[in-house]
Amino acid sequence: MVGQPRAAREAVNQLWRYWANRPGVVPVFVAPYISPETAEICKQDSTSYVDLAGNCRLVFDNVFVERQGMPNPFSEKRALRSLYSPKSSRILRVLLANPGIAWKVQDLAREADVSLGLVANMKKRLEDQEWIQKTEMGLKLRAPEKLLSGWAQNYSFRKNTVREFFSLKAVADLEADLANACVENNLRYALTGFSASARLAPAVRSPRMMSYVEKISEKFTLSLGLKEVTSGANVTLLEPYDAGVFYGSKEIDGIIVASPVQVYLDLRGVRGRGEEGAAKLLDEVIRPQW
């Protein structure tokens, strides 16, 4: 066990049940790594803890020893890749876009367009992190901000195929031309980055267009008058790493915009005040839905 919140909570409860029969013993929770969330669980239940990374909080008699902030040397990179893989992230998008809904496993699989087996696997992983909870009505999001934060730390818009271009046109004209061209060519698209945040939560002006386009061909880019460049670009087109990026997109003033969650994830990786734009989007659009 690596000290996931749900497992830790169960272990702490078990420790105190043992303590009832041995009141002279000091219960100490030990795990390879104890995250800040798990440490808080131990602290709330007055339980001492130690991990193999060097984090600890020992409180008994006149003793108080605390050490925090040591990184996880047993990082489960494979598990993280699985949690945030293209198909798995479809489930995350559905949960975050519909925070008030309790999902049956079959309904969640259908909405996310993934297998029942993947939903069952993700259900266990998300419950272990205490990000979702099981209710009589179905699975429900429990800690949306923690889920989004964890995903954001393991996400980069460069998962997509990134193409950089230059155009002399104004951003507004470029966005309108792109929308028209995609409709004419029957291509799915969705503005993201500052192009989307300007319509969702205006905060930062940017002379740069950013958009997902289902399939980017030379014929398509030439029709828009775009010149591919290695520097000085003012147009970024993203060929999606997975169709899930289009989930929750909506039309605003005649142009399709990616979901607030997708835009937030992409903005965090954009240089030049991208994190500022993401923070405003989180405060004004995403959090109020939770």
pTM over 0.95: no
* CB 32, CB 55: distance < 8 Å: no
For residue 72, with 0-12 CB atoms within 10 Å meaning exposed, 13-18 middle and 19 or more buried, which class applies?
A: middle
Q: What angle do CA 17, 23, 27 make, to 5 degrees?
A: 60
Distance CA 78, CA 64 (A): 36
List of residues 6+ apart from 92 with CB closer than 8 A: 84, 147, 151
Residue 29 CA to chain centroid, in angstroms? Answer: 29
Determine the residue type at 27.
P
Domains of the chain: 5-67 (no CATH), 77-153 (1.10.10.10), 157-289 (3.30.460)
Q: What is the per-residue pLDDT for 123?
A: 95
Q: Which two tokens stand for residue 85?
A: 């893989």
For residue 43, give every residue at least 6 positions away whose Cβ sits within 8 Å of its Cβ, in sequence order, or none.
57
Check: CB of residue 33 under 8 Å from CB of residue 2: yes
Question: Distance between CA 131 and CA 151 in Å, rounded?
Answer: 12
How far is it, in rounded angstroms, from Cα 123 to Cα 113? Answer: 15
DSSP 109-122: HHHHT--HHHHHHH
Length of the chain: 290
H-run or E-run covering 147 = helix 144-153
Tokens 């992230």 locate to 89
Q: How far is CA 24 from CA 16, 18, 21, 280, in A?
A: 12, 11, 9, 52
CA separation for the pair 164, 161 (Å, rounded): 10
pLDDT at 78: 55
Mean pLDDT per 10-residue interval, the chain, length 290 residues: 74 86 88 88 92 93 92 67 90 95 97 96 92 94 94 93 96 96 97 96 85 96 96 96 97 97 95 90 95
